[in-house]
Every structure is written in structure tokens, then in C-alpha cells.
Amino acid sequence: MAKRVQLVLNQDVSKLGKTGDLVEVAPGYARNYLLPKGIGIRATPGILKQVERRKEQERQRLLEEKQQAETQKTALETVGRFTIHKQVGENEAIFGTVTAPEVAEAIQAATGQEIDRRGITLPDISELGVYKAEVKLHPEVTAVVEIQVVSN
């Protein structure tokens, strides 16, 4: 079997790797496809140092994002309870339901922080009361906030 060639990918390749990954491929695949199309470049000591520096910068950026999410979580949990006004019918049943965009709007009105509505997980809210909602701020950081539903 022929010797394998090490390349650093310039773009994502399915079933091979992501941008910046160091991969070993067959010499023909590298010579005939990856190199001519500019998808990969040969791994030299200088290129490997650049890749390591880029990975370190990316790691620092992700760490900063996580710290920012932790700060946001602390801010949300110190506020504690957010109030949402809904129209009420018989037996304290509300018309419609409380939606994630309404919760995101209530959080923004109270704290000034913009929250992605797709990261909000709500229980089924069909009457007045206090409910707990999860707000996903980061893949590793989730805040639990109380939602109080009151009548108009």
C-alpha cells in the first residue's frame, strides 16, 4: 500500500473532516482532487503552526462565549420572575397559550437582554399561575426562570 499524505483542509469535506483539520489521505486523492481544487494544502511545519494558532483562537472565543452566557444566566436568575399578561376566560383559563416569543419579549422588557426564542423550553401553560421555563443560553449553560401568568 502506498504512503499516505498529510493535508490541512481549507473547507469542510463530508466523511473526511472540517476546515482546519489535519487529515491523512491517499496520494492520488490528494494529487488529483484535493490539491487542484484548493480544498486542502500540504501539511508543512509552518502550516501546522498556523492551524494550532487558529484552533487556540477558536478555543478562546468559545470560552468567552461560555463566560458571557454564565453572566447572562446569573442576571436572569437574579431577576427571578417575569410576568406575562394574558386574557382570561372561565376558571382562570387563558385564551391561547404562552409562547416562547412572548417569554423572550418579557425577558427583554425586564432586563434589556435579547434572548433567542428557539432556546426557550416552556411547559404547557393553559391557566394563570407560576411556571418554570428553561432558557438555553449556550450549549453548556441553561438558566431556569419563573414565568408568572396574570390576567389583563
Domain ends where: 63, 92, 108?
Answer: 63
User: Based on the domain organization, do 58 and 92 belong to the same domain?
Assistant: no
Specify the CATH number for the domain of residue 119: 3.10.430.100
Residues 38 and 106 in one domain: no
Domain of residue 147 covers 66-151
Give yes or no: residues 73 and 58 share one domain: no
What DSSP state is assigned to residue 92? Answer: G
Instruction: State the total domains in the chain.
Output: 2
Judge contact between 145 and 132, C-beta under 8 A.
yes
Which residues touch 14 (CB under 8 Å, ≥6 apart)?
none
Distance in angstroms (rounded) separating the CA atoms of residues 122 and 107: 14
- Write down the pLDDT at residue 5: 93
List 147's β-bridge partners, or say none.
82, 131
pLDDT of residue 1: 60
Residues 48 and 104 both lie in one domain? no
Residue 15 neighbours by CB distance under 10 Å: 4
Per-10-residue mean pLDDT of the chain, 152 residues long, equals: 87 92 94 95 93 92 94 88 90 88 91 90 91 92 92 86
29 with 41, same domain: the answer is yes
- 57 and 91 share one domain: no
